[in-house]
Amino acid sequence: MPNIPDTSATANSVERASEQRISHTPPDLSPNRQHFPSLALELSGQPVIYADNPGGTQVPQECIGAIADYLARSNANTGGAFLTSARTDALLAEAHAAMADMLNAADPREIVFGPNMTTLTFAFSRAIGRTLSPGDEIVVTTLDHDANVSPWQALAEERGAVVRMAEIDPATCTLDMADLHAKITPRTKVVAVGYASNAVGTINDVETITSWAHEAGALAWIDAVQYAPHAPIDVQALDCDFLVCSSYKFFGPHLGIVYGKLPLLERIAAYKVRPATNEAPGKWETGTQNHECLAGLVGTLDYLATLGRAQQARYGARFAGMSGRRLELHAAFAAIQAYERELVRHLLIGVAELQGVQIYGLTQEADLTRRVPTVALTVAGHTPRALAEGLGQRGIFAWDGNYYALNLMERLGIEARGGALRIGLAHYNTLAEVDRIVAALHEIVGG
Ligand SMILES: Cc1ncc(COP(=O)(O)O)c(C=O)c1O
């Protein structure tokens, strides 16, 4: 059994600390629910609850409308001398600019679109790998989703390179930073690390890890898929070389996005067809892009900017030097972060009282700033699948299994037992929904 702290004791400390709670009341983001048509779905006369958000989030009407509008009014390929093609060119430019604003990239050319994070990571790792020699090293971590592990392992096999896996502290499901630091050597060429765990919610100190990578002359590849829905991202402050995310995890359509520093995107040779441009980002965006989903992404970012405008007076001050949509998007995610912290505090207190529960990851009040609202747990005597089924029957959607965080589940010793139940919240969830989730779990578990 892994060395996990006693979760009931842990929850009491969450409770105690929350009694002397912060004077600063978090924003109420629940009015934003009206933007999401799918939140109206009911099962057996009750509204459903989406707690499956780390697997994919719901989308606002702004996204749905933009997809339909693109297909109705602008549907064409790029670069033509006619109206719909010109509209498509303008849309693609707007999508790059909007994503640059969300990530605080210095230049829209630093944004590359593709089908999803996994496919983009395979493509980029392969291209980066052209410069690798036998004996070169790549550092990955036990905490990561396999999409940030297997592409690097495949590359290492091809190039005779060595993959070194940084360990975790299983008691808290946090990275063992000393181990990670020790595994970065003068032979390290890439450090691939997640910003937040898709299984247990831990946020990693990717700024420090990036600086360690750079000291060794290595590239820092950051998987921000699970961080992007929950907090503002500033690639310039992080100074990472690449950062990858997926818009279907942050209220957009099924698309993947890579941020890369422009000189790197220009210098590294992409796998591409001859007639395609040699310029970034086009040389990386192989084939025809998913134009309607790019329209949907712009719609989602419009929604988030609207949310941010309403919160700008309160959260904007953190982002000196930003203005316009960039500031609105950063204020939006700062407000989301504050709101979700209350949700996860409430959830941790509630689930800690379940008989036989084991919560994996950070649960202390002081650690709520080091996690996103994704909670993995097991309950003695109940398989994660049975818990998810019990919730599903009650209209509460949550994942069970390993969610591709394979190394972590093996390290925690729960892979062979069906992994864990994962409750993953987003900014459209409410405290009342968290209460319903906790009550449903108590009903299923009994005792
Ligand atoms: C942390 C993390 N990285 C990568 C991925 C893979 O993303 P995609 O489905 O866009 O390939 C996921 C998907 O769940 C994830 O959670």
For ligand 1, is residue 230 a contact (CB within 6 Å)?
no
According to the model, what pLDDT value does residue 91 have?
Answer: 98
Residue 260 has pLDDT above 80, yes or no: yes
Is 117's C-beta closer than 6 angstroms to any atom of ligand 1?
Answer: yes
Strands (E), 158-292: 162-166, 168-169, 174-175, 188-194, 219-223, 242-246, 256-260
Query: pTM of the entire structure?
Result: 0.95
Give the tens place of pLDDT for each residue, 88-121. 999 999 999 999 999 999 999 999 999 999 999 9
Task: Judge contact between 294 and 255, C-beta under 8 A.
Answer: yes
pLDDT score, position 10: 44
Judged against a pLDDT cut of 50, whether residue 301 lies above it is answered with yes
pLDDT value of position 6: 43
- Cα of 133 to ligand 1 centre, how many Å? 28
Across 178-205, average pLDDT? 98
Question: Predicted confidence band at 22 (pLDDT cuts at 50, 70, 90)?
Answer: very low
Q: Regarding the domain delimited by 63-300, which CATH topology (the fold level of the hierarchy) does it fall under? A: Aspartate Aminotransferase; domain 2 (3.40.640)
Residue with tokens 């609207």: 306
Measure the CA–CA gap between 164 and 187, rounded to whole angstroms: 11
Asked whether the predicted pLDDT for residue 279 surpasses 60, the reply is yes
Report pLDDT digits (tens) over 345-379. Answer: 999 999 999 999 999 999 999 999 999 999 999 99
Residue minimizing CA distance to atom 8 of ligand 1: 117
Assess contact for 267 and 280: CB atoms under 8 A: no
Q: Is the CB of 146 under 6 A from ligand 1?
A: no
- Distance (Å, rounded) from C-alpha 408 to C-alpha 405? 6
Which residue matches tokens 């995890």?
249
Q: What does pLDDT average to over the chain?
A: 94
Which of 197, 188, 148 minimizes the C-alpha distance to 169? 197
Confidence band for 26, pLDDT divided at 50, 70 and 90 = confident
Residue 219: beta bridge partners?
Answer: 190
Question: Are the C-beta atoms of residues 191 and 182 closer than 8 Å to each other?
Answer: no
Nearest to 248 by CA among 292, 308, 300: 300
Give residue 229 CA to ligand 1 midpoint distance, Å: 12
Contacting residues for 108 by C-beta, under 8 A, at least 6 apart: 93, 96, 97, 99, 100
The response to whether residue 246 sits with its C-beta less than 6 Å from ligand 1 reads yes
For the chain, what are the domain ranges? 7-59+327-445, 63-300
pLDDT digits (tens, 9 = 90+) for 306-345: 999 999 999 999 999 999 999 999 999 999 999 999 999 9
The reply to whether ligand 1 has any atom less than 6 angstroms from the CB of 118 is yes
Residue 25 pLDDT: 83
Ligand 1 binding pocket mutation candidate from 117, 374, 402 (most atoms within 8 A of CB) = 117
Alpha-carbon distance of 97 to 425, in angstroms, equals 28
CATH 2.40.50.140 fits 7-59+327-445, yes or no: no
Residue range 213-246, pLDDT digits in tens: 999 999 999 999 999 999 999 999 999 999 999 9
Amino acid at 106: A
Residue 7: pLDDT above 60? no
For ligand 1, the distance from its centroid to the CA atom of residue 385, given in whole angstroms, is 21
- pLDDT tens-digit profile of 126-145? 999 998 999 999 999 999 99
Mean pLDDT to the nearest integer, 79-87: 98
The DSSP call for residue 416 is G
C-alpha dist (Å) from residue 320 to 126, 315, 317, 326, 327:
37, 11, 6, 11, 9
pLDDT at position 17: 43
Q: What is the pLDDT of residue 24?
A: 65
Report the alpha-carbon distance of residue 196 to residue 201 in Å, rounded: 6
| Greater pLDDT, 125 or 6 | 125
